[in-house]
Structure 1
Amino acid sequence: MKRNNPDKRVYYLDYLRILATFAVMIEHNSVPFFMRSVHSADWKISNTFESLIRWCVPMFMMISGTLFLGRDITVKKLYSKYVIRMIIAYFVWSLFYTIVARNPAQSVWEQFLMGHYHMWFIRMTIVIYVFMPFLKWISQNTRVMKMFLITILGIVIMCAQIACLIGDFGDPELVNSHLLLKMLYGLRDSIIYVYINYSAYFVLGYYLSKTEIPKAVRYVLYVIGVFSVFVTYKIEYAYVLSLGHQSELYYDPTNIHMLFITTALFVLYRNLPLPECNIIKILSICSFGAYWIHPFIIQLLDMIGINAGKYFPLVGIFVIGSMVSIISFGVSFVLNKIPGVRDYLV
């Protein structure tokens, strides 16, 4: 396995972080169109965008795994610096959104504790940080790490995927009548299973960052990744049609096709001759703050009549999404200049 210099900036991770942050904002601007009829052109365009960009959240996990598992961080520093910082940021931003984006369907305390809609990812990140010493132990032994990845991202995710396909598109009675299939089918509703999968993405990022993959294998992986985008579109379309209402189930990273897309993109950027420029470093540093603030920017634009759902999908999703991204990164840049805010909130 290749060992990178931990003190040298890894620029392909900067590119991936910026791209993943942008993808999140595009995805959130796609929601108004996704809620429309599955037979409409609007929904199909939204499904196209969703199929192209839903790799973004597991990519954040892979980036974090690459950075954290490749460094010597004491348990004390992990909890006293990184976990505490995330908890502080979570509750400060949650208070902010409880004030500016009050949800009448929740009590004030419930909204404060659960956070805004995009903050589920932060809760998950905190949990994974808490268990990082265990993930660090896994990553220190190449054989154990491979067994962990094969078990979770290979065997379990594939078996669960087969059970879901049988239950959703084949014979539901077959799933219900066999205990193992029923258990595998039910995994996708288990929050523990979701967290374990994201933990595996965390370790996978580190593994791929240290492993030299032959060029021929990389090209095969790229082809599978592109093909998986088409699979995502088709299977999501078929599932929503059969279900009779909207669902994001087959965009979930616990699906094997999403694993292929995310892995292919990570490996691609790791092997591209990307230029090392200061603007990329700055945007990467501002990505976390941009993630926190972007729902508020969407809300502000909506208040002045700029709502993605009012426009043709390509304009509403991509153009308005790009506008949200530019403003969010700009606000984050300013926030990163403020001591205290820079250290704990962005």
Structure 2
Amino acid sequence: MARKQRIDYLDYLRLLAIFGVITVHVATSLNFYQQERAGLNWQLLNFWDGLSRFCVPVFVMISGAIFLNPAFDLSWQRLFKKYIGKLLVLYLAWQLIYCGWYYFAKGCDLVTLARLLLGSYDHLWYLPMIIGLYLVTPLLRPIASKRQLLEYFLLLALVFAWLLP
């Protein structure tokens, strides 16, 4: 079996984004939201938090660079079984773990528990978002492989996502 070819710059970006995620979580966990906004503690935590917010878009771009590459073997079966299926299982498992923790450890009521089950627990928002992007990948791959279609798509994205109020 052939060994996967690594793309060095994507590995470096991934490492940088991992440190960014850690920094965001540390900065916002140190009573960030209870700090006095004019105080030095809040200013320092806000600086590190803001400096590290690049991390999630970088992870999304890394996925796009890999999945939209025409040389990357991505069949429907592989997409759903290897990527989307695993993420769905992880998302549902962690959602149930957090709901159980809220119910048994914090004693929340059933309405709050239902909201948690139907919504997403805090930082788990990333998993349904990336699953959604993986779901549209088969539609985006033909666009990404043709330069003229890609430029047209990016122009439309610019107009509708940025220039229109």
TM norm structure 2: 0.80
Number of matched pairs? 155
Q: Identity of counterpart residues, as a percentage?
A: 30
Which residue of 1 is the match for residue 120 of structure 2?
A: 115
Q: What letter corresponds to residue 140 of structure 1 in structure 2?
A: S
Query: Which residue does the alignment assign to 1:128?
Result: 133
Match of 1:99 in 2: 100
Contact 2:98 2:121 in 1 (8 A): yes
Give me the whole-angstrom Cα distance separating, in 2, the residues matched to 1:150 and 1:28: 35
Task: For 1:39, give the aligned amino acid.
Answer: A
> Structure 1 residue 108: deviation in Å?
2.5
Match of 2:84 in 1: 83
1:86, 1:122 within 8 Å by CA — same for their partners in 2?
yes
Is residue 2:49 matched to residue 1:50? yes
- Structure 1 residue 34: deviation in Å? 4.5
In the TM superposition, residue 80 of structure 1 has moved relative to its aligned partner by 2.8
**Paired residue for 2:8, among 3, 6, 11?**
11
Map 1:168-317 → 2, pairs under 5 A: 184=165
- Backbone CA RMSD of aligned residues: 2.4
CA-to-aligned-CA distance 1:148-180 (integer Å, 9 cap, x gap) = 22332x4444425xxxxxxxxxxxxxxxxxxxx
The one-character-per-residue Cα deviations of 1:17-66 (angstroms, maximum 9, x if unpaired) are 22212212211222222442322222221221122111111111001011
Please list every run of 5 or more consecutive structure 2 residues that lacks an aligned counterpart in the other structure: none
Equivalent pair of 1:86/1:126 in contact (CA under 8 Å): yes
**Aligned-pair distance for 1:97?**
2.2
Question: Quick check: 1:97–1:115 contact (8 Å CA) kept in 2?
Answer: no
Q: TM-score, normalised by structure 1?
A: 0.41
Contact 2:18 2:55 in 1 (8 A): yes
Greater relative contact order, per chain length (Cα 8 Å cut-off, separation 6+):
1
**Counterparts of residues 139-178 of structure 1 (less than 5 Å):** 139-152=144-157, 154-159=158-163
Q: Does structure 1 conserve the Cα–Cα contact (< 8 Å) formed by 2:24 and 2:49?
A: yes
Structure 1: give runs of 5+ residues left out of the alignment. 1-5, 161-183, 185-346
**Separation of aligned partners in 2, 1:50 and 1:15:** 20
